[in-house]
Amino acid sequence: MSKIILGIESSCDETGAAILSRDGDKITILSNILSSSAELQSSFGGIFPEQAAREQLKLIIPIISQAMKKANVTKDSIDAIAVTQGPGLIGSLLIGVETAKTLSLVWQKPLIPINHLIAHFYPCWLQTPQPIFPFLGLLVSGGHTDLVVFKGHTKYDYLGGTRDDAAGECFDKCARLLDLPYPGGPQISKLGRDGNPNTYKLPVPMLGSKDFDFSFSGLKTSVANLVKNTPNINKSDLCASIEQTITKSLVTKALSAAKSQNLTTVILAGGVAANTTLRQTLEDSLKKEVPNSKLFIPPIELCTDNAVSTAANAFFTKPTKNPLEVEANPNLSLSH
């Protein structure tokens, strides 16, 4: 018997609904609807939370109904509702969580609250073969940069993370310094494609530290100083350099974590995992330095926020006992 889950995601500037089915081990996407107010946000140079939430309030019901129509399911065939509980913007999270609670009560369906940071890894369970525990998880998003050892679906140990800005945040802030629109990661990557990463030397943060922590705020400051002090800066070269520096920091720490924990399976996830330089460099370095390594990365289109990840994670997460008690939690993390 297959199981069908409706996933709802509204942690940041996107509104997503997806219907997934699971038959034995095989998980299939029946529909995946996503609307982002990124274009609107880019005119503000970043996310304007109030504006994002207003858009989501308008979109959430039409998007859920579109996802159900596309998947050709009615409420009767849905077995459970999954929703991003946090972390994220409180106004945005509330819209998804309160909508999911309402549907769960009215339709009498179990509600599965999902940690968005964990959900980022779960598009990998749509692949065959699926990842096998234990694995090292490197989560790189707009708000988080974490190294975590996953021992089971809901069992994990935190190894380290950023002490200040997240890698995605660093991409976004550097883009802003270069007058590039939000979100900055894809813009920097595009502009840097033909650039020379060695023209401008940027410090690779915390490369020599023995822990598994990161720091990206100093890099942003170095870029700000360079831009201020270099007339006619070559943006393409600088973008290549920013991308290479962030990649080096992430890959170096991930490799040393994998080695120190004797882990051969690694999953790279989160919005920044859409970066092709990072994907390729991690793959090449693991192949070279960790014997028998296996690297999983979600397909590029499922790295950034989406409801497929939320629903996929829900197949491995217990429903809540009391849906009415579920509350949006903007501070949910992997470190405690």
264 binds Zn ion (CB under 5 A): no
Give the whole-angstrom CA distance, residue 273 versus residue 141. Answer: 8
32 binds ligand KG4 (CB under 6 A): no
Q: What x/- string results for residues 163 through 182 when contact with ligand KG4 is judged by CB under 6 A?
A: -----x--xx----------
Cβ-based nearer residue to ligand KG4, 255 or 278: 278
Cβ-based nearer residue to Zn ion, 141 or 313: 141
Give the whole-angstrom CA distance, residue 268 versus residue 275. Answer: 11
Which of ligand KG4, Zn ion, none has residue 186 at its interface (CB below 5 to 8 Å by kind)? ligand KG4
For ligand KG4, which stretch binds (CB under 6 A), given 95-103, 251-259, 264-272, 317-325?
Answer: 264-272
Give the whole-angstrom CA distance, residue 238 versus residue 256. Answer: 27
Among residues 105, 83, 119, 140, the alpha carbon closest in space to that of 254 is found at 140
Among residues 80, 141, 143, the alpha carbon closest in space to that of 113 is found at 80
Which of ligand KG4, Zn ion, none has residue 168 at its interface (CB below 5 to 8 Å by kind)? ligand KG4
Q: In whole angstroms, how close is the CB of 316 to ligand KG4 at the nearest point? A: 20
Cis peptide before 323 (omega within 30 of 0): no
For ligand KG4, which stretch binds (CB under 6 A), given 185-193, 214-222, 234-242, 309-317?
Answer: 185-193
Element (H, E) at 70: helix 49-71
49-56: Cβ within 8 A, 24+ apart: 49/89, 49/90, 49/91, 49/92, 50/91, 52/12, 52/13, 52/89, 52/91, 52/92, 53/89, 53/91, 53/92, 53/94, 53/95, 55/13, 55/15, 56/10, 56/15, 56/92, 56/95, 56/96
305 binds ligand KG4 (CB under 6 A): yes
Q: In whole angstroms, how close is the CB of 109 to ligand KG4 at the nearest point? A: 26
Q: In whole angstroms, how close is the CB of 143 to Zn ion at the nearest point? A: 7
Judged on CB neighbours under 10 Å (0-12, 13-18, 19+), 324 is exposed
114 binds ligand KG4 (CB under 6 A): no
Phi, psi of 4 (to 5 degrees): -120, 130
16, 113, 123, 183: which one binds ligand KG4 (CB under 6 A): 183
142 binds ligand KG4 (CB under 6 A): yes
Give the whole-angstrom CA distance, residue 30 versus residue 71. Answer: 5
User: What is the footprint of Zn ion within residues 116-175 (CB under 5 A)?
Assistant: 141
21, 85, 275, 293: which one binds ligand KG4 (CB under 6 A): 275
Q: In whole angstroms, how close is the CB of 114 to ligand KG4 at the nearest point? A: 13
329 binds ligand KG4 (CB under 6 A): no
By three-state DSSP, how is residue 238 classified? Answer: helix
Which of ligand KG4, Zn ion, none has residue 41 at its interface (CB below 5 to 8 Å by kind)? none
CB 170 within 8 A of CB 214: no
Tokens coding 283:
């793959």
305, 307, 323, 329: which one binds Zn ion (CB under 5 A): 305
Say which DSSP state 76 is in: G
Which of Zn ion, ligand KG4, none has residue 160 at its interface (CB below 5 to 8 Å by kind)? none
Residues that bind ligand KG4 (CB under 6 A): 12, 141-143, 168, 171-172, 183-186, 189, 270-272, 274-275, 304-305
Residues that bind Zn ion (CB under 5 A): 141, 305
